[in-house]
């Protein structure tokens, strides 16, 4: 049976409803109108008999009030009831139920005062009212009662009716009912209340936790966005879990600023070309662009000493740029390739110059690559330990100290070799810088302006490609953790798109 106590905790239940239901079921006081289901649906009328204090309590506290206190108030009024009734009551009661009012007698349905309390227990009434009521999760509810209990209740009602006066005093009636409640009932009711209270506290704590987590999350998002804008976490990959050296962090920050400058320079070039400025003015812009590149090479030169691996792994680049990474940056021959897109704009002299530049940059790249390969071989040879090196001729490890000393020696040698990486990155940057300057020398001012603009936009598009790749629709990637990332990436895409439209 779904007990009416469920309905007691129902939030939406107003007093009017109780009144309505009570009046609908108005019957004579001397007898039950029948033990049909309709009566059984009127447990709320039971509460009509409750005296004023209790009713006031109900009125004050509203729909979700604490029935426990109400119960106590009722109990304390003092109740008398026949022993027979008591006995019958107790035998009928099922064990370990948590109903509030396990056996309010049926007769109390007859009275027609509105109240919001019910104590009726029966299998039929409970199930009927189940559909009307909303259940509060915190109310412990017992939904079943043995059928014979209803029978006993009716017996009880009949007995009680005999001894009950007419509408003189509901208090007396209630008092009689209340004697049914012993310490066991009270205890159960108290437990019920306690459980309800604990539930409410738990819910409150959980909600508080959720709120604080939400605040923390928004703060993290802000920090991340700030870091991204400063160029600390370029690209999707970002830094590897925050373990970024100070040199690397500094470089990333400066590189971020450099990228912003790059945009400025490019728009200067663009507007300069479109406005058909004089050669003198354009030369200034072009030379400024060159020195802008000199700045980044200088910065990389400084960073090579502090954190060469950061440059070589290219974590300061976007993922697409990283694909084409060569010794901590772009390939110088790539610049020539970008130039070649505008072959018809060059004179024969210039074409010869460009071709020889193409050849020399390729040769230099090849030479450096082979040197680096040699470094790899040499380093791996040093690190590769010969398991037999510490063994004597008879196969027994002769001296443990020697083994350790060999290890340390090997490591020291490997360290020295690894430091050569710095030299290679420096030479590669040197090559990049020299190539850019040579392009400037070969071409006229206007051609140089167009070429530099083309170069700038090439890498801009490569960076945009990384962003688009990161935000491409993927089936698996639903989830809130990628949503904020997507937002900032999309902002980046929007800025780059504006560049495309200008050109």
Q: State the number of binding residues for another protein (CB under 8 A).
A: 30
Rule CB under 8 A: is residue 424 a binding residue for another protein?
Answer: yes
Q: How far apart are CA 375 and CA 113, in angstroms?
A: 97
Rule CB under 8 A: is residue 502 a binding residue for another protein?
Answer: no
Rule CB under 8 A: is residue 451 a binding residue for another protein?
Answer: no
Element (H, E) at 254: helix 246-274
176 vs 358, beta carbon nearer another protein: 358
Shortest spacing between CB 442 and another protein, in angstroms: 9
Phi, psi (deg, nearest 5) at residue 117: -115, 145
142 vs 382, beta carbon nearer another protein: 382
Query: What tokens were used for 214?
Result: 């939400």
Among 143, 430, 444, 482, binds another protein (CB under 8 A): 430
Rule CB under 8 A: is residue 371 a binding residue for another protein?
Answer: yes
Shortest spacing between CB 500 and another protein, in angstroms: 32
Residues 6+ apart with CB under 8 A from 325: 314, 317
Among 32, 234, 372, 449, binds another protein (CB under 8 A): 372
112 vs 438, beta carbon nearer another protein: 438
Strand partners, 104: 120
DSSP state of 120: B
Rule CB under 8 A: is residue 216 a binding residue for another protein?
Answer: no
Shortest spacing between CB 417 and another protein, in angstroms: 8
The total of other beta-carbon atoms located within 10 Å of residue 266's CB is 21
Q: In this structure, are residues 270 and 285 in contact, taking their beta carbons and an 8 Å threshold?
A: no
Among 438, 447, 466, 471, binds another protein (CB under 8 A): 438
Rule CB under 8 A: is residue 368 a binding residue for another protein?
Answer: yes
Rule CB under 8 A: is residue 370 a binding residue for another protein?
Answer: yes
Shortest spacing between CB 301 and another protein, in angstroms: 11
363 vs 398, beta carbon nearer another protein: 363
Rule CB under 8 A: is residue 301 a binding residue for another protein?
Answer: no
Shortest spacing between CB 371 and another protein, in angstroms: 3
Residues 6+ apart with CB under 8 A from 181: 75, 79, 189
Residues 6+ apart with CB under 8 A from 389: 406
173 vs 357, beta carbon nearer another protein: 357
Phi, psi (deg, nearest 5) at residue 120: -75, 140
Query: What tokens were used for 57?
Result: 């309590």
Shortest spacing between CB 349 and another protein, in angstroms: 12
Query: What tokens were used for 210?
Result: 């959720």
Among 103, 115, 317, 435, binds another protein (CB under 8 A): 435
Q: How far apart are CA 278 and CA 282, in angstroms?
A: 6
Q: In this structure, are residues 40 and 153 in contact, taking their beta carbons and an 8 Å threshold?
A: no
Write the CA distances from 304 to 58, 192, 263, 296, 455, integer angstroms. 78, 71, 25, 12, 24
Q: How far apart are CA 396 and CA 165, in angstroms?
A: 109
- Residue 33 has, within 13 A of its CA and on its CB side, a CA count of 16
417 vs 446, beta carbon nearer another protein: 417
Q: Draw the binding track, 327-366, toward another protein (x: CB under 8 A; -: no contact).
A: -----x--------------------x--xx--xx-xx-x
Applying the rule CB under 8 A, the residues between 384 and 423 that interact with another protein are 417, 420, 423
Window contacting another protein (CB under 8 A); options: 107-115, 132-140, 342-350, 370-378: 370-378
Where helices occur in 230-330 by DSSP H, the ranges are 246-274, 279-306, 308-313, 319-323
By CB under 8 A, name the binding residues for another protein: 332, 353, 356-357, 360-361, 363-364, 366-368, 370-372, 374-375, 378, 417, 420, 423-424, 426-427, 430-431, 434-435, 437-438, 441
């Amino acid at each position: 049976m779904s007990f009416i106590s469920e309905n007691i905790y129902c939030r939406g239940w107003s007093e009017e409803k109780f009144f309505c239901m009570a009046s609908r079921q108005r019957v004579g006081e001397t007898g039950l109108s029948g033990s049909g289901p309709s009566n059984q649906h009127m447990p709320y009328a039971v509460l009509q008999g409750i005296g004023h204090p209790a009713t006031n309590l109900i009125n004050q506290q509203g729909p979700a009030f604490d029935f426990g206190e109400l119960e106590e108030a009722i109990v304390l009024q003092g109740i008398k009831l026949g022993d027979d009734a008591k006995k019958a009551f107790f035998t009928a009661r099922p064990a370990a139920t948590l109903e509030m009012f396990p056996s309010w007698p049926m007769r109390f349905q007859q009275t027609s005062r509105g109240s919001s309390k019910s104590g009726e227990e029966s299998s039929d009434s409970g199930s009927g009212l189940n559909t009307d009521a909303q259940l509060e999760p915190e109310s412990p509810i017992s939904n079943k009662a043995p059928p014979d209990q209803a029978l006993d209740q009716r017996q009880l009602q009949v007995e009680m009716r005999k001894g009950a006066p007419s509408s003189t005093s509901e208090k007396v009636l209630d008092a009689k009912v209340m004697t049914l409640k012993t310490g066991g009932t009270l205890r159960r009711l108290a437990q019920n209340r306690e459980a309800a209270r604990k539930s409410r506290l738990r819910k409150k704590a959980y909600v508080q936790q959720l709120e604080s987590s939400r605040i923390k999350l928004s703060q993290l998002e802000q920090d991340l966005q700030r870091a991204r804008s400063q160029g600390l976490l370029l690209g999707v990959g970002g830094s590897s879990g925050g373990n970024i050296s100070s040199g690397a962090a500094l470089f990333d920050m400066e590189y971020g600023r450099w990228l912003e400058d790059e945009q400025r320079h490019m728009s200067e070039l663009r507007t300069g070309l479109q406005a058909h400025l004089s050669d003198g003015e354009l030369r200034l812009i072009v030379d400024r662009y060159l020195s802008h590149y000199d700045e980044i090479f200088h910065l990389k030169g400084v960073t090579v000493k502090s954190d060469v691996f950061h440059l070589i792994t290219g974590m300061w680049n976007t993922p697409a740029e990283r694909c084409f990474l060569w010794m901590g940056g772009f390939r110088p021959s790539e610049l020539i390739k970008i130039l070649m897109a505008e072959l018809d704009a060059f004179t024969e002299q210039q074409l010869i110059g460009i071709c020889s530049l193409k050849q020399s940059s390729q040769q230099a790249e090849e030479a450096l690559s082979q040197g680096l390969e040699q470094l790899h071989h040499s380093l791996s040879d040093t690190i590769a330990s010969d398991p037999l090196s510490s063994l004597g001729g008879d196969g027994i490890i002769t001296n443990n100290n020697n083994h350790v000393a060999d290890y340390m020696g090997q490591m020291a040698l490997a360290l020295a070799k690894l430091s050569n990486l710095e030299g290679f990155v420096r030479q590669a940057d040197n090559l990049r810088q020299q190539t850019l300057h040579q392009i400037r020398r070969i071409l006229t001012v206007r051609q140089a302006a167009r070429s530099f603009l083309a170069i700038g936009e090439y890498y801009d598009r490569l960076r945009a490609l990384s962003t688009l790749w990161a935000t491409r629709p993927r089936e698996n990637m639903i989830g809130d953790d990628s949503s904020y990332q997507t937002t900032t990436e999309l902002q980046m895409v929007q800025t780059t798109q504006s560049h495309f439209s200008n050109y």
